[in-house]
Each structure stands twice: as structure tokens, then as C-alpha cells.
Amino acid sequence: MDYCESFYLPKQNEPGSKTIRLYKNLGNTLDILHPQNGEEAQQLEALKKLLDNPDFAYDVLGPDFDSSPYKTKGPFLKAVFSACLESPQVKAIPNLHATISYFLDLIPSYGEGADPITFIGETRTQRRHLDMAALFKAFDQKLLRSYGLWEQYKQVMNFFATKFNAALHFQGFDMFVYNTRGEVLEALFRHLMGLDNVSFDVKDAMSRLIRFVPKTGPGDEPAFTIISDK
């Protein structure tokens, strides 16, 4: 039997909620950039498709991106591109990062760049439910056994089954920054390792497990059930 099935883990913690701002058809902001050749035209078309994807736009801009400080198209597009360049998703794709960097320097602040923007975003309250049992199934249990970390795994599982209190232990943890099981596990371990109300033994077990947190396969699966209230 899977060890994570022999403990009772709460299927979901109390949902976290946050007001987020979504941008639709963000690719239209590229209209102030005019390609000088076929290669630039293809690059801008590819960028437009990415920015028109609300999920991609939200992931790269982050939950706190706000258009309100920018009144004209040029500064707004510069802010969008600058946020993209800082996002892990874009940094992980060198060609995309280079393309955005290239066009960032070509954004005009005059002419069309001085036209007023129409992108104010749509605010929604998003609630996230975290399935704790599924989260831990992302671990490769055979791998942990082979490295002699089975007892540490059981110790951490026991903490979540008997000691973990969502209201207490989630304080200061922003679940809206993460999406996959691997991202949440690593970030949550680091968060808990910094708390005074978690025992040294549990922290030590987490510190040993953290480098085995999977980022691919089961670790790349969504960690949350997401509900958005319009």
C-alpha cells in the first residue's frame, strides 16, 4: 500500500482567496511595434499569440501586475515586457527572452506609444484548494527508499497528518505564486522550515527531502483546484 494512503491527510485545506487582475487580448498592445522584415513579423506574431493567452499572460505577469500607473501604450508595453523578462517561464526559454529583450528597446514613447491605453484588466476573486494527499504522491517513493530517506518521508507525512494547521502554518505563504505540485512542495517546505512552530526534527526531514521534490512528471501536474468568481 502507498504510504500516503495509510495516513489520513485532509484532502483539501481551507481555500485561499485573492483578487487578481486578468488581461485579455494583451497581444493587441504589440500594434505599436512595426516589423522591418519577415523575421521580425514572425517574432511579433508569435509574441502576440502568447500574450493573447490569458493563462500565459497571468503566469508571466504575476498576480500583482497593475496597469493603472501607465496611461499610454508605450510605457505600458515596456512594463509588460519588463515583467515578462523577470518571469521564470520566459527565462527558461532563451530565444523568447532574447526576442522580448530585442523588442523592448524598440518600443516608442512618442507617436503611437503616446496614445492612451485601453487595457485596464478584469478583476476576479480566485479561490484555490490544495489537495494535500495528491501533493505528496508526486514523490518517487522508490527513489526515497533507495537513498535511505523513507523515515524522513514518513516523519513529514505524519506532521501533515497530525500537526499541520492550515490557518496557522499557511500564514505568510502566498499560494498564488505557484502552480504545480513540485513548485508548491518545495516552496511550502522552505516556508515551514522557517517557522518557529515546526519542530527541528520535521525541519531536518524536510531539508533532506527537498532536493528530491520532483519538477517533472507528477511534480509538474497542477497542485490546485481553482475557482474564479466573476
Task: Classify burial at 49, counting beta carbons within 10 Å of its beta carbon; exposed 0-12, middle 13-18, buried 19 or more.
Answer: exposed
CA dihedral 194, 182, 125, 88 (to 10 degrees): 90
pLDDT at 48: 93
Delimit the domains of the chain by residue range.
Answer: 3-18+128-229, 24-120
Helices (H), 53-180: 54-61, 73-86, 88-91, 94-104, 132-136, 141-146, 150-162, 166-169
Helices (H), the chain: 3-6, 38-51, 54-61, 73-86, 88-91, 94-104, 132-136, 141-146, 150-162, 166-169, 181-193, 200-209
**Cβ neighbours, 10 Å, residue 76:** 22
Residue range 183-199, pLDDT digits in tens: 999 999 999 999 999 99
DSSP state of 24: S
Integer-rounded Cα radius of gyration of the chain? 21
Print pLDDT tens along the chain (230 aa): 343 433 444 444 555 666 666 777 888 889 999 999 999 999 999 999 999 887 788 788 876 777 778 889 999 999 999 999 998 889 989 999 999 999 999 999 899 999 998 765 566 666 777 888 888 888 999 999 999 999 999 999 999 988 998 888 888 888 777 888 999 999 999 999 999 999 999 999 999 999 999 989 999 998 887 766 55
Residue range 27-53, pLDDT digits in tens: 888 999 999 999 999 999 999 999 988
Instruction: Judge contact between 24 and 3, C-beta under 8 A.
Output: no
Q: Supply the pTM of this predicted model.
A: 0.57
Q: Cα dihedral sign for 69, 74, 75, 78?
A: positive
Look-up of cell digits 483539501:
12
pLDDT at 105: 95
